[in-house]
Structure 1
Amino acid sequence: MIHYILQILVVQLLFLLIYDLFLKKETFFNWNRVYLLMTSLLSFILPLIKIDVIKENIPEQYMIQLPAVLIGNVSEEIEGSEVIIKSSDSFFNFLTIARFSEYLWYTGMVISLLLFCYKLYRILKLKQTGIKTRVENFNLISLPNTNTAFSFFNTIFLGEKLSEVKKTNILLHEKIHIKEYHTLDLLFFEILRIICWFNPLVYVYQNRIAVLQEYIADSKAISETDKKEYYQDLLSQIFQTDKISFINTFFNHSLIKNRIVMLQKSKSKKIFQLKYLLLVPVMLLMLLYTSCAQDTSAQSKVMSENVDSPLIEKIQAVRHQIEKQGNVSPEEEKALKVLALLVTDDGFSNPHYEDVYGMADIPFGVIEKVPVFPGCENLSQEETKKCFSQKISQYIVKQFNTKLAKENGLTGYQEIGARFSIGNDGKVKDIKVKNKSKILREEALRVLEGLPVMIPGEQEGKKVSVMYKLPIKLKFK
């Protein structure tokens, strides 16, 4: 998820740079409106597109990879193929950080939603306090004792203190906002602000679309009134207006100068519309980036099954299944005891769980005393972990038959997700491998089954089974 968010930020930044440098000063207002709306959506879609053909034809030194949560790696060239092994002993730490980030995200969304509701409440309150009249196809709310002027959907709010001349020009301007459905644009970005409250570029997008809407309304309104009079209204006293991000405010001091400049500017030549073609290389660049990016969180997902499912839901499902069956089999009883062993503080010192010590797979990253690979004896805990990762990586690099590439026509990048346990007797068991190619799965299984017997891991002084995850990446030249 973090990697996906970073990609969104990169895409949005590039799109906004193109807009600010090449498009913002042009008078293709409607085209710019489409550009801002379309690119804001594309920024969420492009990172999800992965084109394998691009990835296979890019040299490895140009591949992009974010800092991994996995530790220990070995990379060697063997008979024209490259095999990279990465061992993961911090998987559960990664899940803890991911869960905290998820809660933080939800909290921010709730706060943003509450702020949005408060803004709506302020508008509704103004609607109730004002005098409502129906003019043409919109509602006009006259607000007492104020000089406010803005529109929201098909309702225009005007302060009673405004002069009749100003009201006429404002109505022309705000009617354009209503006819062009500008409120929908602003609400679209308001929704993005709620979901992506942490993303500053979404706020920039909303600001750009709000400014652009003023240009659109000015350009159309000025064709229906006296241009000089319209300029004078803009240059006259600037009225104070409450800042609500999804309403179209007529009076905005920081925008007045830019609006006048755009009104006086000659229409851009049609040849300048070719600037929009800049989107093509940028999109290709982003497809190149996203296709070559290595998402370490996705690697972790390969190594776990259903990690996105909330733990509570799984526990509830188990309880309902037991209630439905009415009893549990001996195998199911042992599995439940293993679960209780892992979550109970005194589990490994309780004789009640002694018969399932060998069944409890403790993650490599949290085991008190890790298994010892032959040749890694008499080292400290951290040194033993590093030695274990290095030895097992070297073993697989040496044993893996890379001639399979030539014999079976394999090309490009391949990744094998491997998971196994080192039992309380030191032997490798419960090997599981994932890959689309049956040949690579069988080869990985053969290599892992040949791992030597090790000194088993220990938890609270008891020999236990230790779970190990091993992503294996191959590049066939």
Structure 2
Amino acid sequence: MIHYILQIIAFQLVFLLVYDIFLKKETFFNWNRLYLLVTPILSFVLPLIKIDAIRQQIPENYIVQLPAVIIGEKTNEVLVNTNNVSNSFSFEIIHLWYLGITITGTILLVKLIRLYLLKQRGVTKIIEGHEIILLPKTDVAFTFFNTIFIGETLTPTQQKTIIAHELIHVQQYHSIDLLFFEILRIIFWFNPLVYVYQNRTAVLQEYIADAEVTKAKNKKDYYQSLLSQVFDTSVVSFTNTFFKHSLIKNRIIMIQKSKSKKIFQLKYLLLVPLVFGMLVYTSCSDDKTGVSEEANQVSSSDTEIMTKINELSEAIMKKGNLTDEEKRALDFLATEAKPGDKVYTSVDEYLEETESIPFAVIEKVPVYPGCDTSQENQELKKCMTDAITKHIIENFNTKVEKDISGRQRISVQFKIDKSGNVKDVKARAAHPELENEAVRVVSLLPKMKPGEQKGKKVTVVYALPIVFEINE
């Protein structure tokens, strides 16, 4: 979700930069109005669109955390449920978002109440089928939907100029535009670009109204009337204010400005490569957070496939690093079959044909001497794991090298062949002495009853990490 929001903000920023640099000074006011209304919506939609042909070129990474056998002094190992941490963080963010919506929604409600109270205080008149509210002892002037608010202290000439201008706002439904951004300000209260969009739209609407009025009135007389009149500015952000000190200069400039040449409308074609570039970006980007949240939602369903996938995921995290066979099994499941490839009816068939069987999927695990052969497969796995761990702890010489100190980690892999013998012992560590000691200790493991797969004795791969502390 956070990644999605960041993409929205980034896209809106790009759209606004294009508007300010290329379109803002053109007199294609209605086109610009459409641009300012459509591009915020595009910024919400584009991150959700993915081009599969591009996405398929992005490789996936698998990261698995190894569990550890601890030797020597006890160490403080803390296991953190990352799902709970993520859910807790999401919970806090959602509540903060709700709080912002409540505050901004309350502000909008206060603004509406203020308008209602102003309307109650004023005197209502109907001019050309539109509602005019004369407000006592003030010279404010603004419009909200079909209602025009005018200060009573304004002269009849001033009122006539204002009404002609404000009627354009009414006829072109400008209040809907501003209210649209007001709603966005409530939902996306943390996004400053929504406020910029609303400001750009309000300014553009003044240009539109001025342009329409000057079609029937002399431009020079109109902008001179603007200079000679000073009206209060309403603080309600979703109303169309007739006069605003910071805007009057730009309005006069736009009134005097010659119409932009038709060829300049080609500037709007900038949207084509812009939107295409955004689509490429969203298709190539990988929203880890979004995927994670989606997976959590799906995992709560009762679908059998997702249940199995979750069980597999938990098993991988509990076991730790994947053996070569396990990696090949995952690759087998994730790889798309090509024409001419052999068709396997199961993962077991694939693994059986590729020599060694991983300990995690073996039907009948190797049995360590002393373990009860009548036990279930899972119990035999646990018995064997416990026995090997005990063997390592009792026989490993942690003083193999005096210069080695601190926490040491060794990755060990070995096979239990079809006769039950331990062979092909390999170790990897920061020091050769530790590797040699690990190979020595694991090679001392007794002969076991071999594992079986589909009634046949098979070679089983077993991986074991060793972690211990050497004090100086």
TM range (shorter): 0.5 to 0.7
1:204 Cα deviation (Å)? Answer: 0.7
Residues 258 and 92 of structure 1, relative CA distance in 2, 3 Å threshold: same
Larger Rg: 2
Aligned position for 1:34: 34
1:196 Cα deviation (Å)? Answer: 0.8
Aligned position for 2:3: 3
Residues 210 and 404 of structure 1, relative CA distance in 2, 3 Å threshold: closer
Is the counterpart of residue 259 in structure 1 residue 251 in structure 2? Answer: yes
SS in 1 for 2:238: coil
Aligned position for 1:129: 121
Identity of aligned residues (%): 49
Residues 40 and 441 of structure 1, relative CA distance in 2, 3 Å threshold: farther
Q: 1:288 aligns with which of 280, 283, 286?
A: 280
- 1:78-227 pair list within 5 angstroms: 89-227=81-219
SS in 2 for 1:165: helix
Deviations 1:132-175 (A, max 9, x none): 01001211111111010001111111101112221111111000
**Aligned equivalents of 1:111, 1:92: Cα separation in 2:** 29
Residues 240 and 204 of structure 1, relative CA distance in 2, 3 Å threshold: same
Deviations 1:56-86 (A, max 9, x none): 34x66xx9x9xxxx97689xxxxxxxxxxxx
1:395 Cα deviation (Å)? Answer: 6.4
**Aligned equivalents of 1:133, 1:48: Cα separation in 2:** 49
SS in 1 for 2:296: coil
SS in 2 for 1:294: coil
**Aligned equivalents of 1:38, 1:18: Cα separation in 2:** 14
**Aligned equivalents of 2:243, 2:266: Cα separation in 1:** 34
* Conservation of the 8 A alpha-carbon contact between 1:400 and 1:447: no
**One-letter code aligned to 1:239:** F
Aligned position for 1:419: none
Aligned position for 2:361: 450
Comparing 109-118 with 397-406, which one deviates more in the overlay? 397-406
**One-letter code aligned to 1:397:** K
**One-letter code aligned to 1:53:** A
Where structure 2 has 5 or more consecutive residues not aligned to the other structure, the ranges are 67-79, 302-310, 352-356, 366-380, 387-472
SS in 1 for 2:290: helix
**Aligned equivalents of 1:147, 1:71: Cα separation in 2:** 68
- 1:264-279 pair list within 5 angstroms: 264-279=256-271
1:242 Cα deviation (Å)? Answer: 2.6
Residues 442 and 14 of structure 1, relative CA distance in 2, 3 Å threshold: farther
**Aligned equivalents of 2:224, 2:170: Cα separation in 1:** 24
* Conservation of the 8 A alpha-carbon contact between 1:169 and 1:225: no
SS in 2 for 1:304: helix
Is the counterpart of residue 397 in structure 1 residue 327 in structure 2? Answer: yes
1:447 Cα deviation (Å)? Answer: 7.0
TM (norm. structure 1) is 0.63
Aligned position for 1:53: 53
**One-letter code aligned to 1:148:** V
Aligned position for 1:330: none
1:254 Cα deviation (Å)? Answer: 0.7
Aligned residues: 336
Residues 134 and 235 of structure 1, relative CA distance in 2, 3 Å threshold: same
Residues 213 and 307 of structure 1, relative CA distance in 2, 3 Å threshold: farther
Aligned position for 1:43: 43
**One-letter code aligned to 2:279:** L
**Aligned equivalents of 1:140, 1:448: Cα separation in 2:** 84
Residues 122 and 409 of structure 1, relative CA distance in 2, 3 Å threshold: farther
Residues 213 and 449 of structure 1, relative CA distance in 2, 3 Å threshold: same
1:290 Cα deviation (Å)? Answer: 1.0
Aligned position for 1:408: 338
* Conservation of the 8 A alpha-carbon contact between 1:139 and 1:156: yes
1:296 Cα deviation (Å)? Answer: 1.2
RMSD (Å) for aligned C-alpha atoms? 3.6
1:117 Cα deviation (Å)? Answer: 0.7
**Aligned equivalents of 1:171, 1:181: Cα separation in 2:** 15
SS in 2 for 1:25: coil
**Aligned equivalents of 2:349, 2:2: Cα separation in 1:** 33
SS in 2 for 1:42: helix
**Aligned equivalents of 1:90, 1:181: Cα separation in 2:** 50
**One-letter code aligned to 1:52:** D
**One-letter code aligned to 1:120:** L
**One-letter code aligned to 1:3:** H
**Aligned equivalents of 1:256, 1:48: Cα separation in 2:** 41
* Conservation of the 8 A alpha-carbon contact between 1:113 and 1:194: yes
Residues 99 and 172 of structure 1, relative CA distance in 2, 3 Å threshold: same
Aligned position for 2:16: 16
**Aligned equivalents of 1:41, 1:192: Cα separation in 2:** 10
1:393 Cα deviation (Å)? Answer: 7.6
TM (norm. structure 2) is 0.64
SS in 1 for 2:134: strand
**Aligned equivalents of 2:348, 2:202: Cα separation in 1:** 55
Residues 215 and 111 of structure 1, relative CA distance in 2, 3 Å threshold: same
Q: 1:245 aligns with which of 216, 237, 242?
A: 237
**Aligned equivalents of 2:348, 2:212: Cα separation in 1:** 65
* Conservation of the 8 A alpha-carbon contact between 1:401 and 1:443: no
Aligned position for 1:343: none
* Conservation of the 8 A alpha-carbon contact between 1:150 and 1:248: yes
**Aligned equivalents of 1:227, 1:45: Cα separation in 2:** 41
Residues 301 and 406 of structure 1, relative CA distance in 2, 3 Å threshold: closer
Where structure 1 has 5 or more consecutive residues not aligned to the other structure, the ranges are 75-87, 310-360, 365-369, 374-387, 411-437, 457-477
